[in-house]
């Protein structure tokens, strides 16, 4: 049996999600609240009980015991699962997921420089309820004014199958991901309020910082993987480094909200024991931009060359069909140029992430997998030429 937390607020629709004392929509508290835990060891029974009662999630139950364990594979933030043992109106246990700043100083420094923590907190406060994409429902989304300490507390979507960038996915999984991409893009298409939201605009100096850092990232990438990555792929990485000014100064007008890291590691499949097909996680790279940034990224870095080459036309047609069903009519010719360029964002993300987040054995395998898929797609469609052609 589960305590009432699991059967009350989690079952409410997004539209009726409670605006709690620590709620996701209370944006005025975001810049001033400092008394929230930013590491799982700092989460106490008293703090969590007050939070959940304020959100209407605990009813008459009492949390008697609290424990946590790490989950996920993220390197920019640390995710955990809390297990709550409850007594009162309905004895039993329930679980919550949470996300905190990375303990690793290198990953944390990169996240702070790029404003990743602030973006994800603001996404859950202001955009999650407006988009048709399935995301975890959130009870707490708090961040300090300096943007270096935060907490996100979610519903636990398990049992679920965690997407695995290295293992890849089935064509069925890829189809569900494409449907969710269309849900993101169509429900924010040309939405001026969302596209002009102050918090989602990149800091004015960020592009210049990225341009300055990118050659350094490519040097690290080359030194680390020159004897592992296929020569033609490494050559493409080198060429993109020389053209990075074009990539980071793309002047295409924004169309919609873009996830920015739309790949398997950021997806949960068959959530809640198969009740729903997919949820999309990890919104720290959310931005405004061109929809094909997500699609080119996913079909390249996300699913790998074998699945992409076999099903590319089908998946692009599915995306167009889903967008049309949601009220956005696009043709293959409308998206083709931007799709070609979108593949290069997978190359750049592989290179930059490898250099500026914590190095792990899985991380190396992950970045190589991303680079191989993105480079294969970019070479297949001459994406560098598309980049040089401009918009």
pTM: 0.89
Average pLDDT over residues 59-82: 87
Same domain, 342 and 271: yes
> Does 43 fall in a domain?
yes
> Do 46 and 195 belong together in one domain?
no
Who contacts 359 (Cβ-Cβ below 8 Å, separation ≥6)? none
Are 145 and 195 in the same domain? no
Residue 10 binned pLDDT confidence (cut-offs 50, 70, 90): very low
* Secondary element (H or E) of residue 95: strand 92-101
Cβ within 8 Å of residue 292, ≥6 positions away: 335, 338, 339, 341, 342
Last residue of a domain, one of 155, 177, 198: 155
Domain-located, residue 3: no
Question: How confident is the model at residue 355, as a pLDDT?
Answer: 87
Q: Are residues 118 and 184 in the same domain?
A: no
Q: pLDDT, tens digit, for every residue of 300-331?
A: 999 999 999 999 999 999 999 999 999 999 99
Q: 132: pLDDT confidence band, cut at 50, 70 and 90?
A: very high
In a domain, 87, yes or no: yes
Eight-state DSSP code of residue 327 = T
Domain hosting residue 23, numbered range:
9-155
Cα 291–Cα 299–Cα 370 angle in degrees, nearest 5: 110
Nearest to 144 by CA among 30, 265, 28: 30
Let me know whether 151 and 271 are in one domain.
no
Query: Long-range contacts for 150-153 (Cβ within 8 Å, ≥24 apart)?
Result: 150/38, 150/99, 150/100, 150/101, 150/117, 150/118, 150/120, 150/121, 151/36, 151/37, 151/38, 151/98, 151/99, 151/100, 152/98, 152/99, 152/100, 152/120, 152/121, 152/124, 153/51, 153/96, 153/97, 153/98
* 22 shares its domain with 108: yes
Do 172 and 34 share a domain, yes or no?
no
Domain count within the chain = 2
């Amino acid at each position: 049996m589960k305590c009432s937390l699991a059967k009350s607020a989690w079952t409410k629709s997004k539209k009726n999600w409670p605006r709690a004392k620590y709620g996701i929509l209370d944006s005025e508290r975001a810049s001033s609240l400092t008394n929230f835990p930013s590491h799982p060891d700092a989460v106490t029974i008293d703090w969590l009980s007050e939070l959940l009662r304020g959100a209407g999630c605990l009813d008459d139950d009492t949390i008697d015991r609290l424990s946590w364990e790490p989950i996920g594979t993220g390197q920019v933030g640390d995710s955990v699962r809390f297990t709550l043992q409850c007594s009162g109106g309905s004895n039993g246990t329930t679980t919550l997921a949470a996300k905190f700043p990375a303990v690793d100083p290198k990953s944390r420094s990169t996240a702070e420089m790029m404003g990743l923590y602030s973006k994800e907190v603001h996404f859950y406060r202001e955009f999650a309820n407006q988009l048709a994409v399935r995301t975890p429902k959130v009870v707490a989304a708090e961040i300090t004014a300096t943007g270096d300490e935060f907490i996100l507390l979610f519903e636990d979507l398990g049992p679920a199958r965690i997407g695995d960038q290295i293992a890849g996915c089935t064509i069925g999984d890829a189809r569900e991901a494409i449907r969710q991409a269309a849900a993101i893009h169509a429900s924010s298409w040309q939405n001026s309020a969302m596209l002009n939201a102050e918090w989602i605009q990149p800091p004015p100096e960020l592009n210049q910082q990225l341009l300055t850092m990118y050659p350094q990232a490519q040097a690290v990438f080359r030194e680390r993987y020159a004897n592992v990555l296929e020569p033609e792929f490494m050559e493409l990485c080198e060429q993109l480094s020389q053209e990075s000014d074009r990539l980071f100064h793309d002047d295409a007008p924004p169309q919609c909200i873009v996830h920015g890291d739309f790949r398997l590691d950021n997806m949960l499949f068959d959530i809640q024991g198969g009740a729903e097909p997919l949820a999309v996680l990890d919104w720290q790279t959310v931005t405004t931009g061109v929809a094909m940034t997500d699609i080119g990224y996913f079909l390249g870095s996300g699913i790998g060359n074998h699945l992409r080459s076999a099903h590319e036309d089908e998946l692009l047609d599915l995306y167009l069909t889903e967008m049309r069903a949601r009220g956005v009519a696009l043709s293959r010719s409308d998206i083709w140029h931007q799709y070609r360029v979108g593949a290069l964002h997978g190359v750049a993300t592989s290179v930059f992430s490898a250099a500026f987040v914590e190095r792990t054995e899985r991380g190396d395998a992950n970045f190589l997998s991303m680079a191989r898929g993105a480079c294969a797609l970019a070479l297949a469609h001459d994406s560098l030429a598309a980049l040089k052609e401009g918009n």
